[in-house]
A and B are shown apart, each in its own frame.
Chain A
Amino acid sequence: DVKVTQSSRYLVKRTGEKVFLECVQDMDHENMFWYRQDPGLGLRLIYFSYDVKMKEKGDIPEGYSVSREKKERFSLILESASTNQTSMYLCATGTSGFDQQYFGPGTRLTVT
């Protein structure tokens, strides 16, 4: 069975802290994605990665960075958290050729 796990379901951080969100998949997928989900805005792509050490900016990369040192793990980093980064963060994986994307359960991040 397909499995995408995210390191935390809920996270509370203070403004200015460095925040790490981790995503791990067990499906040997090449592609991994980070989205944020906000009411009325749907899902917006932050960053994605096609392979180890490769990354590309999505639609809203400002304030975020990513790391993919191993194929199964894709980390989202908030260098200095701000209140406008309070959101639900969703990780997804997929293969080439558009079968579908598989999503993790999400991390609800609150920055105070």
Chain B
Amino acid sequence: GNSVTQMEGPVTLSEEAFLTINCTYTATGYPSLFWYVQYPGEGLQLLLKATKADDKGSNKGFEATYRKETTSFHLEKGSVQVSDSAVYFCALGTQGGSEKLVFGKGMKLTVNP
């Protein structure tokens, strides 16, 4: 079946540090890959996505590249800010009737000034 494995944390960084959150997946077919972010007290919102191999998604300084050969979609940001403190979820979706998302367990990031 489809599954997503991601770093779980929690992780604490200082402002301007480099961030990597690892995400690997197992899927049949050709999945779309997503990173969602949940800020404190809010629902999830889409951060970025990639729909095919070698696509790079980017938003708000975050980037992730869809690597089919390593089945990975790692999230990176060169310089984190206090406002990036949130929970980050990697997710996978496949078409073919279900259109459901499979989520990783989420990683809580705290950025200190």
How many interface residues does B have (CB within 8 Å)?
23
| A105-B42 contact given A42-B106, A98-B93, A100-B49, CB 8 Å threshold | yes
Please pick, from A43, A94, A96, A102, the residue contacting B103 in the complex, using a CB distance under 8 A. A43
Please pick, from B44, B93, B95, the residue contacting A103 in the complex, using a CB distance under 8 A. B44
Contact with A along B38-81 (1 / 0, CB 8 A): 00011111100101000000000000000000000000000000
**Which positions in B face A, CB cutoff 8 Å?**
8, 32, 34, 36, 41-46, 49, 51, 89, 93-95, 99-101, 103-106
23 interchain pairs, CB-CB under 8 A: A33-B100, A40-B8, A40-B105, A42-B89, A42-B103, A42-B104, A43-B103, A45-B100, A92-B44, A96-B99, A97-B99, A98-B51, A98-B93, A98-B94, A98-B95, A98-B99, A100-B46, A101-B46, A103-B36, A103-B44, A105-B43, A106-B42, A106-B43
